[in-house]
A = this chain, B = another copy of it.
Amino acid sequence: MSTATTHASPRVFVGPLPEALLSEAVLRGGGALVADMSDADMVVWNDGPASLAGQLHPGIKWVQLAAAGVDDWLASGVIDSDRVWMSGAKTYSHIVAEHALALILAGRHRLAECARQTEWRPELQGQPLDCAAVLIVGAGGIGRGLIEMLGPLRTQTVAVTRSGSATPGAERSVAFDELADEWSRADVIVLAAPATPATYRIINSQTLEMMRSNALIVNIARGSLIDTVALVDALRHDRIGGAALDVTDPEPLPSGHPLWSDPRVLITPHAANPRDARLRRFAERVTDSVSRIGSGTEPAAVIDTKLGY
Measuring CB to CB, which residues of chain A are less than 8 angstroms from any residue of chain B? 94-95, 98-99, 101-103, 105-106, 108-130, 145, 148-149, 151-154, 251-256, 260-261, 266-271, 274-277
Contact A119 B152, beta carbon cutoff 8 Å = no
Contact B260 A117, beta carbon cutoff 8 Å = yes
A149 contact set on B, CB distance < 8 A: 152-153
A113 contact set on B, CB distance < 8 A: 115
Closest to A154 in B: B94
A120 contact set on B, CB distance < 8 A: 251-255, 267, 269
- Please, how many angstroms separate the alpha-carbon atoms of A116 and B113 in the complex? 9
> In the complex, given contacts A114-B271, A118-B261, what are 9 additional A-B residue pairs having Cβ atoms less than 8 angstroms apart?
A94-B130, A99-B126, A101-B105, A105-B106, A112-B115, A113-B115, A120-B251, A124-B271, A128-B274
- Please, how many angstroms separate the alpha-carbon atoms of A260 and B115 in the complex? 9
Q: Assuming the A-B contacts A115-B115, A260-B118, are A98 and B268 also in contact, with contact meaning beta carbons closer than 8 angstroms in the complex?
A: no
CB distance from A274 to the nearest CB of B (A): 4
CB distance from A222 to the nearest CB of B (A): 16
Number of copies: 2
CB distance from A113 to the nearest CB of B (A): 8
Q: Give me the 7 closest cross-chain CB pairs, A-B, nearest first.
A: A120-B252, A102-B105, A112-B115, A125-B274, A115-B115, A119-B255, A102-B109
Looking at the complex, which one of B99, B116, B269 makes contact with A121 (CB distance below 8 Å)?
B269
Contact A115 B111, beta carbon cutoff 8 Å = yes
Q: Assuming the A-B contacts A260-B117, A277-B130, are A268 and B112 also in contact, with contact meaning beta carbons closer than 8 angstroms in the complex?
A: no
CB distance from A283 to the nearest CB of B (A): 15
A115 contact set on B, CB distance < 8 A: 111-113, 115-116, 266
Contact B268 A114, beta carbon cutoff 8 Å = yes
Closest to A123 in B: B269
Contact A102 B111, beta carbon cutoff 8 Å = yes
A254 contact set on B, CB distance < 8 A: 120
Contact A267 B95, beta carbon cutoff 8 Å = no
- Please, how many angstroms separate the alpha-carbon atoms of A111 and B154 in the complex? 23
- Please, how many angstroms separate the alpha-carbon atoms of A166 and B231 in the complex? 49
CB distance from A255 to the nearest CB of B (A): 4
Contact B269 A122, beta carbon cutoff 8 Å = yes
Closest to A112 in B: B115
- Please, how many angstroms separate the alpha-carbon atoms of A115 and B109 in the complex? 13
Contact B154 A122, beta carbon cutoff 8 Å = no
